[in-house]
Amino acid sequence: MSTGRIILMRHGETTSNVAQLLDTRPPGAWLTDRGQEQAREAGRVCAQDYPKLAAVYCSIAIRAGQTAMLLSAEYERLRGQRRGSLPVRSLAGVQEVDMGDWEMRGDDAAFQDYYHCLAGWLGGDPDARAPGGENYCDVLHRYRPALEQVRRRHGKDDVVIVSHGAATRVAAVHACGVDPDFAFENRLANCRRIILEPGENDFGQWRLVEWGV
């Protein structure tokens, strides 16, 4: 039996994105007006590309929940579905990588260290972490069960999971065996998607369908 697609989507633009701050811990920042429109546009794209979408999941961060709700409402409107027919559900475990002592910093040194850690998370370096933050093993320990839960629940259906830029890339790399250098160089912009197809394969052997669309 084939399975459906898991569409990992980064949330819309936030006030912390605009201020260039390392905002990783829930509840986090709210969407900007531009971020809200990005979420609605994502709903329009999903209505066209995924006509039988089964559910929208989101992390526990405010920005992910806002994105998911706006996406779902626009999807329902365009598909002629009743309000609330495309459920939005909070999903534990798919929040952003915790930046520890670097939380809410926006200086150049913090971002240089962040990019160094990101390369390590993608490449499977267990020593890559911010002081007091997570490494890639910590992220997969919570993110992988969430993905597998969604996979079991929905089978052949397509689902969207609204998550976060770094965590989404880390999960996709390790779920599909994506080249870490490719993942590092191809960042995930707001409301862009990474599409996974688990099939009947074990985690680590899932198929990457598209990246950054």
Residue 1 included in any domain:
no
Summarize pLDDT for 104-113 with one digit per residue, the tens: 999 999 999 9
Asked if residue 1 has pLDDT above 70, the reply is no
Is the residue at 182 inside a domain? yes
What is the rounded CA–CA span in Å between residue 179 and residue 200?
A: 22
Q: What's the pLDDT score for residue 3?
A: 64
- Is residue 60 a part of any domain in this protein? yes
Domain containing residue 128: 6-211
pLDDT of residue 155: 86
Please choose, from the candidates 164, 167, 156, 168, the residue with its C-alpha nearest in 3D space to the C-alpha of residue 198: 156
pTM summary value: 0.95
Measured CA to CA, the distance from residue 22 to residue 99 in angstroms comes to 7
Within a domain: residue 194?
A: yes
Residue 70 belongs to some domain of the structure: yes
Q: In the chain, how many domains are there? A: 1
Q: Which pLDDT band, with edges at 50, 70 and 90, does 196 fall under?
A: very high
SS3 of residue 124 by DSSP: coil
The CATH number for 123's domain is 3.40.50.1240
Task: Tell me what the mean pLDDT of segment 59-73 comes to.
Answer: 98
- Please write the tens of the pLDDT for every residue from 29-50: 999 999 999 999 999 999 999 9
Q: Is residue 45 part of a domain?
A: yes
Residue 136 lies in a domain: yes
* Whole-angstrom distance, CA of residue 4 vs CA of residue 12: 24
How far apart are the C-alpha atoms of 167 and 151, rounded to whole Å?
18
